[in-house]
Structure 1
Amino acid sequence: MCLPRVRDEEPAQVYPEGPRHPHPSQITTRQSADKRIIYMRNLRKEKRKLNKQFMRPAPMPEPGLLWPS
Structure 2
Amino acid sequence: MRASHNLFIQAFFTPITAPRGGITPYAIDEFVFVVPWVMVPVALGSWLRRREVARPADLSTP
- Shorter-chain TM-score tier: 0.3 to 0.5
Normalization by structure 1: what TM-score?
0.33
Report which of the two has the higher share of helix: 2
Q: Which has the higher contact order (CA 8 A, sep 6+)?
A: 2
TM-score normalised according to structure 2 size: 0.35
Q: Considering only CA atoms, is the larger Rg found in Structure 1 or Structure 2?
A: 1
